[in-house]
Amino acid sequence: MTIIVIMLVLQKLPRSFWRYPKRLQATRAIFAIIVGLAATVLTLALNGRRERSDLGQFYIENAPDISGGHNIVNTILVEFRALDTLGELTVLGMAGIAIVAVMSTVKDKFIDPPAENIPEPPRQAWVSIRPRGTTAYRAVHEAWPNVIPPKLTIKILGPLLAITSLVIFWRGHNEPGGGFIAALVGSAVIGLLYMSTAKDRAIGPPKAPLYLIGFGVATAVATGFIGLIFAGSFLEPMHGYFLGQHFTTSMIFDLGVYLAVVGLILLSFNILGVSDSAATPAGDDVLTNGIIHRDVELTRERADELIYGELSGPMDAIRGERPTHERRSRAGNPDAKVKASSTHILHGDAPIERSSDTQPDQPPTDAQEGAK
């Protein structure tokens, strides 16, 4: 999942950079090397060079008895330092909301310049390939067959990752795990879903990321008030036993962490996952006479849909105006089911992908009829 996020960020970088004088480049390189060496030396010199503190020893000796959990790191985060964790969780959630707020105040033409205005220089293939109509030709010129294996893989890995995520969350109070790590494992499903789409589109319902972030932070805050009302202190954990199992309200707090982290990662995929409108062909893009004609959602439209749901296109408003009734659109057809016996690659028929700009009452296109 980390590699996917890194690649999404790298595709946002410009294709070329300003040329600076070699003297200035050399100065910056020397400065960067000095900073890197200084950070390395300080890390090696200071890490592990001190004895365990009295507070650390106190946690080791008393945390299991006080919290009822043997995972000292997790109990410190969700019980002893729960207020600090709540602050970090709030900052995490506000970072996601701030991304949407900033993107929804910039016009689409400034975030993603129209692709048709940027010519694509002709490229000559390094090696010759088989003629049009062959599997080798489609493998190079059509990207959608690459998603058939991930579509089949996620049918098995998806449930396994979801179950693993729940197990890690459940055991976090006594064994390595917890809400944050469990959320990262669960978010791997989002990464697989993103990689298995033949068309550039958002993953999940448009408003889901903000709902998850909001419910996550609200759950954590509600846990604090439960402790304040019934235990006399904000975020004070309450413990009890049910059917011989130890339960604590800090698990509810951990659930808030889980929801907020999943929401932020889902938001990051949907915003960063928008293809580069200037150069990178993706989804239904068509290269005609050296010009890329784009047919995918862009960054501003994705940001608007996080707030208002499915829209027919990006909004022009920059001051929080709501979309008109004509701007709203209904969800398109569900994804076509890809099975182990699918023959999409064999026959060259792409599976139908959900499209936010396809209305249910519109007749299917020739390509969709062929895929069926």
Residue 371's pLDDT is 43
pTM: 0.75
Q: At what angle do helices 299-308 and 208-230 cross, to 10 degrees?
A: 40
- In terms of phi and psi (left: phi > 0; alpha: psi -120 to 50; beta: otherwise), the region of 270 is alpha
DSSP state of 144: G
| pLDDT value of residue 356 | 42
Measured CA to CA, the distance from residue 201 to residue 207 in angstroms comes to: 14
**239-242 and 286-288 strand pairing:** unpaired
> How far apart are the C-alpha atoms of 28 and 23, rounded to whole Å?
9
pLDDT tens for the chain, residues 1 to 372: 778 888 887 877 766 667 788 899 999 999 999 999 999 999 888 876 677 788 888 888 888 888 888 888 888 989 999 999 999 999 999 999 998 888 888 887 777 766 555 555 444 545 566 777 777 777 766 666 777 888 888 889 999 999 999 999 998 888 888 899 999 999 999 988 888 877 777 888 889 999 999 999 999 999 999 999 998 899 988 888 888 887 888 899 999 999 999 999 999 888 888 765 444 444 445 455 555 555 567 788 888 888 888 877 777 777 667 777 766 754 444 444 556 556 555 555 566 554 444 444 444 444 444 444
**Residue 69, Cα to own-chain centre: how many angstroms?**
31
Write the CB contacts of 39 (distance below 8 Å, at least 6 apart in sequence). Answer: none
| Strand-pair partners of 239 | 248
* DSSP conformation letters of 184-204: HHHHHHHHHHHHT-SS---SS
CA dist 35 and 76 (Å) reads: 33
CA angle 116, 118, 121 (to 5 degrees): 115
Q: Which two tokens stand for residue 256?
A: 């808030």
Q: What integer pLDDT is reported at residue 363 of this predicted model? A: 43
Contacts of 211 (CB under 8 A, 6+ apart): 263
31 burial type by CB count under 10 A (0-12 exposed, 13-18 middle, 19+ buried): exposed
Q: Residues with Cβ < 8 Å from 349, sequence gap 6 or more?
A: 343, 370, 371
**Longest alpha-carbon distance in the chain:** 76
